[in-house]
Amino acid sequence: MAVKKYSELKTSDWRAPAAVYLLEGEEPVLQREFLTQLRRALSIAPNSIDEAVLDARETPVAALGGAVQTIPMESERRLVILHAVNRYSAVDLQSLARLVEQIPLFACLVLLPSAVEESESAKAAWNALVKAVEKRGMVIKLTALTGATLTRRLVEMAQDAGKRLRPEDAEYLQTLVDSVADRALAELEKVILFVEPHSEISRLDIDMVVAPSQQAQVFKLVDTVVARDACAAMRQLRLMFQSGTRAEETAMKTLALIARQYRLLWGVRTLLQYQQPVKQPNRVSAEVAQKLPKDPDVLQMLARQPFLQDRLLKQAERLNLAQLCAAFHAIEEADLALKGLRPSVNAAEIMERLIIRLTTDGEPAQPSYSQGG
């Protein structure tokens, strides 16, 4: 039939559901929306006896074939949902491609891949499966809800509930949940209930309801560190140790996230040094891109979470390369101490000493680059 983006589906696409669908791209929010729409189109209630939810890691293709061939009891068609389809072997994928060609008129099969990519040996079989699906049904492309797309979704969700959420506050909410659409929408639902009967959602309302992720807390911690505000940085660090998790575990996770943040700052500082457009990552030269850290991927982060661009820029502009090198050395020393390879008292003290070093080593750098959009 076709290959379509989820956003391109029209009412006419639901009038006569296809025999098989393959959803490419792992976005839980859109997966759930698609399945809800499909159940409605098939007149199948959730958890109906005419719906089977299977996992390829536990379901042989023969068993899947049996589920597809089972005649529906309450509805005109039977819905079979298979998760992790790309975990099948090449031989199983070939068998599945043949099964797709034989799906009866009373069945509808939905194939959901997992985040793990298929192996090299299975790529040819996977391509054959995709072609079989295109012939009998539809391949749906799910684009991850991030950046401006997620911002619009959050603003629209608030509007649907009779609330006003400013785009900049929707972006702020994203920073608290690491731009995970599933959690952002769930947290906004709680905020909407919290502000009743008022119609405005403020940043204070968001702070009152949404618990920031550990990564978001580290971002705030680094904000205070690069500002050389040792007192604020220490308060933020101690808040992170009040999570109820073991101090050693909190320290290791926090240190890993601090190291990740500084690798991002190194990447942004490198872009500034070579006068590359931080706010247009797709225009960064290939030569400079090769110099950037790959874990995390700086350009991918800037492209997928554009609302972080200004914050990363402000942090990077206040640190010169010498200060970044000193920070990496301090982080390495803290890592060795947490692993018992350097003398120390406890995990909390190791992290406190790290924060003192990060906020006192060298003088704060003055912004020396300007960024055009």
Same domain, residue pair 257 and 347 = yes
- Taking the C-alpha atoms of residue 311 and residue 268, their distance in angstroms, rounded to an integer, is 11
Distance (Å) of CA 213 to CA 151, 177, 220, 270, 313: 18, 6, 11, 27, 21
Answer yes or no: is pLDDT of 361 > 80.
Answer: no
The per-residue pLDDT for range 3-48, each reduced to its tens digit, is 899 989 999 999 999 999 999 987 899 999 999 999 999 999 878 9
Strand 78-83 relative to strand 107-112: parallel, antiparallel, unpaired?
parallel
Q: Is residue 330 domain-resident?
A: yes
Domain boundary among 189, 209, 229: 209
Same domain, residue pair 113 and 167 = no
Quick one: average pLDDT of 328-352?
A: 93
Residue listed under structure tokens 């090449």: 90
Q: Is residue 365 domain-resident?
A: no
- In sequence order, the 6+-apart residues with CB closer than 8 A to the CB of 371 are 272, 277, 278, 279, 313
Quick one: average pLDDT of 250-261?
A: 94
**In the chain, % of residues over pLDDT 90:** 81
Same domain, residue pair 187 and 241 = no
Quick one: average pLDDT of 290-294?
A: 93
**Three-class SS state of 111:** strand
The whole-number pLDDT of residue 369 equals 42
The whole-number pLDDT of residue 368 equals 42
The whole-number pLDDT of residue 245 equals 83
Same domain, residue pair 355 and 218 = yes
Q: Is residue 372 domain-resident?
A: no
- pTM comes to 0.76
Q: The domain spanning residue 269 has which CATH number? A: 1.20.272.10
pLDDT level of residue 370 (50, 70, 90 thresholds): very low
Same domain, residue pair 124 and 8 = yes
* CA 372 to chain CA mean position, Å: 27
- Taking the C-alpha atoms of residue 291 and residue 230, their distance in angstroms, rounded to an integer, is 31
Same domain, residue pair 129 and 25 = yes
Distance (Å) of CA 127 to CA 2, 96, 144, 336: 15, 12, 22, 47
The per-residue pLDDT for range 107-162, each reduced to its tens digit, is 999 999 987 776 777 889 999 999 999 999 999 999 989 888 999 999 999 999 99
Distance (Å) of CA 150 to CA 30, 174, 348: 12, 8, 36
pLDDT level of residue 1 (50, 70, 90 thresholds): low
Domain boundary among 209, 226, 244: 209
* Domain limits for position 91: 2-141
Look up residue 348 and give its two tokens: 């909390």
DSSP alpha helix (H) spans, 196-243: 203-209, 214-226, 230-240
The total of structural domains in the chain comes to 3
For every residue of 121-172, DSSP letters joined together read GGHHHHHHHHHHHHHHSEEEE-----HHHHHHHHHHHHHHTT-EE-HHHHHH
Domain boundary among 90, 114, 141: 141
Answer yes or no: is pLDDT of 372 > 60.
Answer: no
- In sequence order, the 6+-apart residues with CB closer than 8 A to the CB of 229 are 359
Same domain, residue pair 63 and 105 = yes
The per-residue pLDDT for range 66-98, each reduced to its tens digit, is 999 999 999 999 999 999 999 999 999 999 999
The per-residue pLDDT for range 93-103, each reduced to its tens digit, is 999 999 999 99
